[in-house]
Chain A
């Protein structure tokens, strides 16, 4: 028996929906092997994982709260990748967004009503401008954006740690934490007695806004055109540099907004662990959503379930929490493999030919 990949004449639309589901199924089967290796019952472990994330109002809200930053970083990556601006730097843009928000949120001189709007604007701009830097390097000097965006993550992380260990350290804390933001700077809570904050709503609004922008504005049109065929776009009069830089600003801004949400809605300060790799998970989420802004929402919720459910699963079955990370990584790989089948089909022939 021989297998061979052949190019498809056209991709069928139903694949767009079934491929991510198939990738998730394959991921769960593969990771089931690891659960069995850890000595637990696979069905039971998965049941606990999904049930614990969804079985009560409290858990459901927690899943949504966890999904909010993932939606935003997923959108950040989806927008950037559409223009073939390979932004691996959502993590750093997230951190800068959080830092800008906390900086604004601790200013007592500002009128209290202006704090939240200013934090949102400044967080967006901080993340956005941090992404514009590699975009300029890419368009002006042809510096590889994968490398620059990735390395900028480390620069901003260690710069942040230096600040938290030095000038920006909260004198009342024994840890490298920043001072807390003012009460008035906290995101309002949307549902009484839960942690459902304004950031969750903003993430949902952002998903719709980005979808609308990509589909119904000339900028969205230009982003897709530049991503698919920069030469044709340039010949048609689109300014590639401008489009890539605007894309970077929006992409970084969305990641920055995720950072604002975590700072203003949950932690009220900046500390070392403010991001648990949201920027990197955003890449997996965007790929699973096939870069569709609306698809980012279910995709982010799926990963939020995995991340929140993994703890309960670990407590109930003894499978290490790290399984959540393994699932993320496996999902990225299965999805990348699945994407191959949008443009190719597998031909199996029984002869030796």
Chain B
């Protein structure tokens, strides 16, 4: 093996799920000391490819070579044995165990005895070498998200990883934590490791990687060196396949306040609430965007407005009606529509028929039921009509909800709410994980609702989306709305600073 043998090479990887080609003839090479950025929209096949490499899926065709030798990776244990480590978006840690116990899970024992001292020595050594330090006895539940991620990286090193896959590692981090992660990544490759960094944030990929590979609809559209003359526009086109044409946003007349939150505290415990006194207003004919790094209270805020999470204090006013402990029924009756971030978790029921999922919030009222007895015909008619109107691609209204693609699930959720002409529509991450076409459709529906004098609250981590849609952008940081800026005065830079908690005096 000479110096130029890549530490990892994938050749002709193919993987289909039924008729869908998630990966088609993918080649990838990773050199020692390299950070490879893997770019692509959600659904482009990045995660599938990494799951093939990590042994979660078996490729239909193709070969994996490590240090120039073909290897057979049939499960994650084999991947680990070959020196492949993966840090998933969702961490695989035991919350009630300590750092060192999490590292020792799955390790070979010495004659039935746990080698705790040995493990601690190795943890200390990794801490020294890569500047990745954690106290061995801290419980995982006491670690911050950034520290938990560090533990996942340490775990991969602990098991002898030489190739590290990081699947959208920065999505959960604050900018400062992301900086720390980048520092660690640089230390890793300096010692001869290879790192694959998955992201769809262009500026991060440009900051940290040496090379990038761009995927779209299961194929590689480009492999590039990271040079300063690349533009975001070029990369965006390679990712999306066409130029983005944002929908027109005509001026509307902004009317009365439809939704008003005053000093809401909620989530966590009453002494240490997640939302620490949130106040905001959504007016008729406007879209209020809510920006923030994930985990700063967005989901709790959405839960309060949806009536799922009763606030500790503060009040909510819907079109003049004051509620101090809103329930789902109350907010629904007053015209709040909701399209949740977690489509399959809190929105639809993947294992039930599409028709059932689409009437879930209103099954108890006419025409869907009377006196507790369902009107299956009315349900069918309603769902059929919505499927046609929103061009939801489905084999029928009786198929299992989970067989629909992400974009069609999102359309189904939107159809479910828009059919009842909500006064205020609450949406979270409306275009996450769906293709560009469906995304544009969703945006048009929002603007249409706005034109009809309704109010929208759009929670998103995608700044571009917020700039396209919003009339005003509110920024949430550590459970507080730290500023609300009209979109005409907002720049990516000042919103970015606010998201990181820097409050400008002049703002």
Contact = CB atoms under 8 A, between A and B. Distances in A.
Given A217-B372, A219-B372, A235-B308, A228 B403 contact: no
Contacts of A228: 349-352
B349 A232 contact: yes
A353 B72 CA distance: 7
Nearest to B345: A231
A175 interface: no
Contact of B351 (A4, A215, A229, A353): A229
B360 A233 contact: yes
Interface string B370-408: 001110100000000000000000000001100100000
B346 interface: yes
B345 A232 contact: yes
B374 A216 contact: yes
A237 B333 CA distance: 11
Nearest to A11: B400
Interface stretch (B219-227, B316-324, B361-369): B361-369
A158 B189 CA distance: 68
Contacts of B348: 232
Given A232-B360, A353-B72, A237 B332 contact: yes
Contacts of B350: 228-229
A220 B351 CA distance: 15
Interface in A214-260: 215-222, 224-225, 228-229, 231-238
Contacts of B345: 229, 231-232
B203 to A, nearest CB: 34
Contact of B356 (A217, A219, A225, A352): A225
A218 B17 CA distance: 35
A9 interface: yes
B429 interface: no
Contacts of B116: none
Contacts of A4: 58, 74
Contact of A221 (B17, B307, B346, B374): B374
Given A216-B374, A224-B356, A10 B400 contact: yes
B51 to A, nearest CB: 12
A352 B72 CA distance: 9
Interface residues of B, number: 34
A228 B308 CA distance: 19
B376 A225 contact: no
A206 to B, nearest CB: 18
A222 B363 CA distance: 9
A9 B349 CA distance: 16
B329 interface: yes
Contacts of B400: 10
Contacts of A219: 372
A1 to B, nearest CB: 13
A236 B360 contact: yes
Nearest to A9: B18
Contact of A9 (B328, B352, B403): B403
Nearest to B308: A235
B155 interface: no
A222 B58 CA distance: 38
A61 B17 CA distance: 51
Contacts of B347: 232, 235
B361 A218 contact: no
A9 B399 CA distance: 12
Contacts of A221: 356, 363, 374
Interface string A84-103: 00000000000000000000
A218 B374 contact: yes
A217 B372 CA distance: 6
B317 to A, nearest CB: 20
Contacts of A218: 363-364, 369, 372-374
B306 interface: yes
A237 B374 CA distance: 17
B377 to A, nearest CB: 11
Contacts of A216: 373-374, 376
B340 interface: yes
B162 interface: no
Given A10-B403, A231-B345, A237 B361 contact: yes
A306 to B, nearest CB: 32
A299 to B, nearest CB: 22
B276 interface: no
A225 B372 contact: no
B480 interface: no
Interface in A1-38: 2, 4, 9-10
Contact of A235 (B18, B72, B306, B374): B306
Interface in A277-306: none
B338 interface: yes
Given A9-B403, A225-B352, A353-B74, A236 B361 contact: yes
A225 B346 CA distance: 11
Contacts of B74: 2, 4, 353
Nearest to B329: A237
A183 B319 CA distance: 66
B69 to A, nearest CB: 16
Given A4-B58, A224-B356, A229-B351, A235 B338 contact: yes
Given A4-B74, A232-B360, A235-B308, 10 more contacts: A9-B17, A10-B403, A216-B376, A218-B369, A218-B374, A222-B363, A225-B360, A235-B306, A235-B338, A237-B328
Interface of A: 2, 4, 9-10, 215-222, 224-225, 228-229, 231-238, 352-353
9 contacts: A4-B74, A218-B369, A228-B352, A232-B346, A232-B347, A232-B348, A237-B328, A238-B360, A353-B58
Interface of B: 17-18, 58, 72, 74, 306-308, 328-329, 332, 338, 340, 345-352, 356, 360-361, 363-364, 369, 372-374, 376, 399-400, 403
